[in-house]
Amino acid sequence: MTRIERNAVEVHGIVKHYGETKALDGVDLTVREGTVLGLLGPNGAGKTTLVRVLSTLIKPDAGTAFVGGYDVLRQPKQLRRTIGLTGQYASVDELLSGYENLYLIGRLLDLSGKEAKARAAELLERFSLTEAARRPAKGYSGGMRRRLDLAASMIGRPKVLYLDEPTTGLDPRTRNEVWDEVQRMVGEGSTVLLTTQYMEEAEQLAHALTVIDKGRVIANGGIEELKKRVGGQSLQVRPADPAQLPEMARALQESGIPATFSAESALLSVHLTDEHQLTTVIGVLGTRGFGVAGIDTKLPSLDEVFLTITGKSAAPARNRDKEPVA
């Protein structure tokens, strides 16, 4: 039986101003059920503001948005029961233990006492917090609080989960644990809207990407689709004799093929503009008698896509969106 694809999140023309600042300026996006949408953009692009709107934490000035079939403006109470949210900063009750934090949230989400206990224990184990489960959260390290906050957002198995830069500040092992849990939830049918500054994270988790800048959507599509749209393929040639790199580049340029080389990586690079250029490059190098140790083609990295689309560098994760707090 063919599965009918539906949108878990639909956003149409969302606008949000803070005085003269246009945090969101007519944003449109959709997220398919059971998928991860990576929301990328430079600091201050509007990512966190959009998450706040879709979480019913702030009201938009114009536009409409539906999450899980519920209207953000007209059905906020029903919508809140279908979502989970991890913001940029861990928000846990410091006087309660890790276990008590999770159990309390489970009960607030109408899990039975037995279900809340089981789910809390499950997530404490998954996020390597079992040993600290009975200790007050105020004694947790920053990374431990972050993991507890992530567990709290997942305890009710939300239909739609918002993750706003979820792994900032986490060590590589914990980051992988978070990725595994997100993939597990998506496999069970949850939908995720992920904002991140880590391109590796977007490639690991996202099925599609939306890039926003200055409150507007400037690109969207699948990861491979965006890579092809931005730069096409590049050809990398490893010479048998690295000392010949300058001569090889000169030979190609004399044949009308722009080429660059890196002495450090010992590679010759050619941007491929059509499918026949690969054969031409190999022919020129062979005719001139250059030995080739290896040839490879690659699409641009997601970092390169981001740079090309936004014209800005991906800022370190610690420099988060400087958007007004609602």
76-108, pLDDT tens digit by residue?
Answer: 999 999 999 988 776 889 999 999 999 999 999
pLDDT digits (tens, 9 = 90+) for 210-236: 999 999 999 999 888 887 776 667 788
> Mean per-residue pLDDT for 47-66?
96
Do 52 and 106 lie in one domain? The reply is yes
Q: What is d(CA 227, CA 130) in angstroms, rounded to the nearest whole number? A: 41
pLDDT digit string (tens) for 222-277? 888 887 776 667 788 899 999 999 999 999 988 888 888 888 888 888 877 666 78
Q: How many other β-carbons are positioned within 10 Å of the β-carbon of residue 265?
A: 12
Same domain for 111 and 161? yes
Q: Are residues 221 and 250 in the same domain?
A: no
Query: Does one domain contain both 194 and 244?
Result: no
Q: What is the largest CA-CA distance in the chain?
A: 77
CA distance 291 to 283: 12
CATH for 194: 3.40.50.300
- Is residue 314 in a domain? no
Residues 117 and 238 in one domain: no
For residue 145, give the nearest of 85, 201, 205, 97 by alpha carbon: 97
Domain shared by 221 and 265, yes or no = no
Residue 93 forms part of a structural domain: yes
Please check whether residues 77 and 190 belong to one and the same domain: yes
Torsional sign, CA 58, 63, 65, 69 = positive
255, 182: one domain: no
Q: What is the pLDDT of residue 5?
A: 67
Domain count, the chain: 2
In angstroms, rounded to a whole number, what is the distance separating the alpha carbons of residues 215 and 218?
9
User: How far apart (Å, rounded) are the C-alpha atoms in residues 61 and 203?
Assistant: 33
Distant-in-sequence, close-in-space partners of 56: CB < 8 Å, separation ≥ 6: 72, 76, 79, 80
- 147 and 278 in a single domain? The answer is no
Domain that holds residue 173: 7-228
User: Can you give the pLDDT at residue 321?
Assistant: 42
Same domain, 191 and 244: no
Tokens representing residue 115 in the block: 């279900």
d(CA 141, CA 199): 26
323 pLDDT more than 60: no
**Could you identify the residue written with the tokens 């949210």?**
85
- pTM (2 d.p.): 0.75
- Would you say residue 320 lies in a domain? no
Q: Is residue 326 part of a domain?
A: no
Say if residue 136 is in the same domain as residue 52: yes
